[in-house]
C-alpha cells in the first residue's frame, strides 16, 4: 500500500482548475483534515484549520506543477488521505505515449519547488502583516526549529488565528516535508543527491536513511508532539522504506 498514490476516482470528488492545472480533491482528504484538526478545540478553530490546510496544500502542489511546467511537462493535482500529490502527464512518444522521466537536477528542482512555494506563501503572509503594522518575531520549537510568528494590529481572534495557522503549516510542515524520508520531497531530494554522489550504492543508502529517519520522526511525533498522525504517517513510511530495501538489497547481505 502506498499512501501517496492517487486514489481512484469517485463521484464525490471535488474537481476544478487553477491556472489551467486540473485539481481533484478526494473525499478522504477531508476526513484526514478533520482528524488532523480534531484537537482544534472549537468549531471556529477547526474551520480555520480546514480552509488554511486546503489552501496551503494546493499552493504546495502548485509549486511542483509550475516547476514541471517549466520543463514542458503538464500535470494534475490530487488531494487525498495522505495530503497531496502532483502527477506528471505522459508525453507523446511516436504513435503512443510514454511516462515522464526527469534527470537528477530536474527531479531535485521539482521536489524542492513544493516546500519553496509554501515558504513563499508564509513570507507573503508575514509581509502582509508587516505592511498592516503588525508585529513579526521568531520563536524556536524545542530550542532548535525556528518558527516565525506574527500578530496583526487588530484584536480579531479569527484573523490572527488564520495568520498563525498559515505560518505553522507552511513553515513547520514545509520543514518536515524536507526530511529525507521517501516519498516526501526531502526523500526524493536525498535519493537523487545520494545517487549522484554514489551511483552504485546511492539508492541503497537513501532507503536506509529514509527508514531510520522515518522511525526517529515517528518517535519524536509521539513523545514531543503527542501527534498520532505524525507517528502513524512516518511509521508507515519507515516500514515501506525498510521493506523496499529488503526487497531490493536484502538478499545481498
Better-scored residue on pLDDT, 84 or 139: 84
What average pLDDT does this structure show over 64-73? 94
pLDDT at 90: 75
Predicted confidence (pLDDT) at residue 97 exceeds the cutoff of 60: no
- Sequence-distant (6+) residues with CB within 8 A of 97 are 90, 91
pLDDT tens string 230-252: 888 899 999 999 999 998 887 55
Residue 1 in this model has a pLDDT that exceeds 60: no
Give the tens place of pLDDT for each residue, 118-167: 999 999 999 999 999 999 988 877 667 778 889 998 889 999 999 999 99
Q: What is the per-residue pLDDT across 169-210, written as a single tens digit (0 to 9) for each? A: 999 889 999 999 998 999 999 999 999 999 989 999 999 999
Predicted confidence at residue 13, as pLDDT, reads 94
DSSP states along 169-185: IIIIHHHHHTSS-TTSH
More confident of the two residues 13 and 222? 13
Q: H helices of the chain, where? A: 27-36, 43-70, 104-131, 157-167, 173-177, 185-197, 202-223, 228-249
pLDDT at position 96 over 70: no
The SS3 of residue 23 is strand
Task: Report the chain's mean pLDDT, rounded to a whole number.
Answer: 89
User: What's this model's pTM, rounded to 2 decimal places?
Assistant: 0.89
- Note whether 131 and 124 are within 8 A (CB): no
First-to-last C-alpha distance (Å) of the chain: 26
Amino acid at each position: 500500500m502506498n499512501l501517496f498514490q492517487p486514489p481512484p476516482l469517485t463521484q464525490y470528488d471535488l474537481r476544478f482548475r487553477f491556472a489551467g492545472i486540473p485539481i481533484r480533491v478526494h473525499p478522504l482528504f477531508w476526513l484526514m483534515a478533520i482528524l488532523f484538526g480534531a484537537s482544534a478545540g472549537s468549531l471556529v478553530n477547526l474551520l480555520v484549520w480546514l480552509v488554511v490546510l486546503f489552501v496551503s496544500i494546493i499552493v504546495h502542489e502548485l509549486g511542483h506543477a509550475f516547476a514541471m511546467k517549466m520543463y514542458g511537462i503538464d500535470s494534475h493535482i490530487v488531494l487525498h488521505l495522505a495530503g497531496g500529490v502532483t502527477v506528471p502527464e505522459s508525453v507523446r512518444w511516436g504513435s503512443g505515449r510514454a511516462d515522464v522521466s526527469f534527470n537528477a537536477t530536474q527531479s531535485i528542482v521539482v521536489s524542492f519547488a513544493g516546500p519553496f512555494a509554501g515558504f513563499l506563501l508564509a513570507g507573503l503572509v508575514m509581509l502582509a502583516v508587516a505592511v498592516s503594522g503588525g508585529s513579526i518575531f521568531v520563536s524556536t520549537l524545542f530550542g532548535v526549529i525556528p518558527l516565525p510568528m506574527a500578530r496583526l494590529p487588530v484584536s480579531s481572534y479569527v484573523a490572527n488565528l488564520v495568520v498563525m495557522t498559515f505560518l505553522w503549516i507552511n513553515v513547520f510542515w514545509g520543514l518536515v516535508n524536507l526530511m529525507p524520508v521517501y516519498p516526501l520531497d526531502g526523500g526524493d531530494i536525498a535519493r537523487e543527491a545520494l545517487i549522484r554522489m554514489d551511483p552504485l550504492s546511492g539508492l541503497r543508502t537513501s532507503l536506509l536513511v529514509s527508514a531510520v529517519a522515518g522511525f526517529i520522526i515517528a518517535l519524536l511525533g509521539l513523545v514531543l508532539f503527542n501527534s498520532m498522525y505524525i507517528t502513524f504517517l512516518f511509521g508507515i513510511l519507515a516500514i515501506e522504506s525498510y521493506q523496499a530495501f529488503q526487497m531490493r538489497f536484502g538478499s545481498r547481505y
